[in-house]
Amino acid sequence: MTKTSNVQELQAIAKKTRREIIEMITAAKSGHPGGSLSAVEILVTLFFDAMRHDPANPKWPDRDRFLLSKGHAAPVLYSVMAQCGYTPEDQLKDLRKLGSIYQGHPDVRFIPALEGSTGSLGQGLSLGIGMGLSARLDGRPYKTYVVLGDGEIQEGQIWEATMFASYHKVDNVCAIVDYNRIQLDGFVKDILDLEPLRDKWLSFGWNVIEVDGHNIGALQKAYADFGTTRSKPTVILAHTIKGKGVSFMENNPKFHGMAPTDDEAKKALQELA
Ligand SMILES: Cc1ncc(C[n+]2csc(CCOP(=O)(O)OP(=O)(O)O)c2C)c(N)n1
Ligand SMILES: [Mg+2]
């Protein structure tokens, strides 16, 4: 794979990723477009720029670890991993089919390069903090990145993990909250509001960075800030738009877990041309 820090090149990869998300969910006739589209820049900037990893050597002991705790957004991860060269890009269209490596949620039994099977919400941060502790015990330099949904962090296990990580100074873990303000069937604020979210993470002892989660330059800076922060874990509150890039999906809870029709997909791909 070719890595780059060039924002325009990363934007081009992001656009291609959005197209692949639409194409694979349309082919599957099911899946989660909204939360896949909102996390595109977060993942593209990690995999193509910030993270130290090597698709030719997926078990390199010093590789940075990545967990998509909000595993229902698997299409964004599959597209990015395929573009990196971990998995075949031409099989993305087999998303959710029986026997496909691209199951509805990331599953290490099908894709050994994954760091864990995810999608049962609330668990990924604990897994990532375990990896961070392991790195420290083994004296290894790798970092662990965990992408969380905003609805997901209503889960109690997240806050146990949050408390544990700061107490044990697990500073090699970076959580990223995809703060798109929508969960499964409505707006987070109408179901169980998270605010004041920044204050909550601060009071749990974390280094808190807030960014526009579609601004690649801002994400690069946030990942760099994490890299130099010692003795505290870092959380990036990434403000995003659910369904970003497709007009009729943006901010629309309906497209949390529904595939576009063929006509809608055509329109979406025109907008992403
Ligand atoms: C433990 C658990 N409960 C329920 C679900 C079903 N579920 C899948 S996605 C989702 C909503 C998640 O919302 P959010 O974290 O905001 O995700 P995003 O907006 O990024 O798609 C729910 C409840 C699940 N996957 N795991
Ligand atoms: Mg959400």
Hey, whose CA ends up nearest to atom 21 of ligand 1?
A: 35
pLDDT value at position 7? 98
Q: Which residues are within 8 A (CB) of 199 and not within 5 positions of it... i.e. 6 or more apart?
A: none
pLDDT value at position 70? 98
The answer to whether residues 65 and 173 touch, using CB atoms and an 8 Å cutoff, is no
Residue 221: half-sphere exposure toward Cβ, Cα within 13 Å: 11
Out of 21, 72, 237, 255, mutate this one to test ligand 1's pocket (max ligand atoms within 8 Å of CB): namely: 72
Among left, alpha and beta (phi > 0; psi -120 to 50; other), residue 25 is: alpha
70 Cα to the center of ligand 1, angstroms: 7
pLDDT value at position 158? 98
Hey, whose CA ends up nearest to atom 17 of ligand 1?
A: 149
- pLDDT tens digit sequence for 112-158: 999 999 999 999 999 999 999 999 999 999 999 999 999 999 999 99
261 Cα to the center of ligand 1, angstroms: 22
Hey, whose CA ends up nearest to atom 13 of ligand 1?
A: 183
What average pLDDT does range 170-197 have in this prediction?
98
Confidence of residue 198 (pLDDT cuts 50, 70, 90): very high
Residue 255 amino acid letter: F
Distances (CA, A) of 195 to 128, 166, 199: 24, 20, 8
- DSSP for 52-66, please give it: ---TTSTT-TTPPEE
Percent of the chain scoring above 70 in pLDDT: 100
181 Cα to the center of ligand 1, angstroms: 12
pLDDT value at position 80? 98
Q: Which ligand is nearest to the CA of 70?
A: 1
pLDDT value at position 205? 98
39: tokens are 């996390």
* Whole-number Å distance between alpha carbons of 107 and 111: 6
pLDDT value at position 230? 98
What average pLDDT does range 55-74 have in this prediction?
98
Q: What is the pTM of this model?
A: 0.99
- pLDDT tens digit sequence for 219-260: 999 999 999 999 999 999 999 999 999 999 999 999 999 999
pLDDT value at position 157? 98
Confidence of residue 82 (pLDDT cuts 50, 70, 90): very high
pLDDT value at position 171? 98
Q: Which ligand is nearest to the CA of 73?
A: 1
23 Cα to the center of ligand 1, angstroms: 22
CB 77 less than 6 A from any atom of ligand 1: no
* Whole-number Å distance between alpha carbons of 11 and 14: 5
Q: Which ligand is nearest to the CA of 38?
A: 1
Measured from the CA of 256, which atom of ligand 1 is nearest? 21
Measured from the CA of 180, which atom of ligand 1 is nearest? 19
How many residues are given for the chain? Answer: 273
Sign of the alpha-carbon dihedral angle for 120, 234, 66, 42 = positive
pLDDT value at position 58? 97
138 Cα to the center of ligand 1, angstroms: 33
* Whole-number Å distance between alpha carbons of 72 and 110: 16
Q: What letters, b where the CB count within 10 A reaches 16 and e where it falls short, cover 100-130?
A: bbbbbbbbeeebebbbbbbbebbbbbbbbbb
- pLDDT tens digit sequence for 7-55: 999 999 999 999 999 999 999 999 999 999 999 999 999 999 999 999 9
Q: Which residues are within 8 A (CB) of 240 and not within 5 positions of it... i.e. 6 or more apart?
A: 38, 39, 42, 178, 179, 180, 213, 214
Confidence of residue 217 (pLDDT cuts 50, 70, 90): very high
CB 69 less than 6 A from any atom of ligand 1: no
184 Cα to the center of ligand 1, angstroms: 6
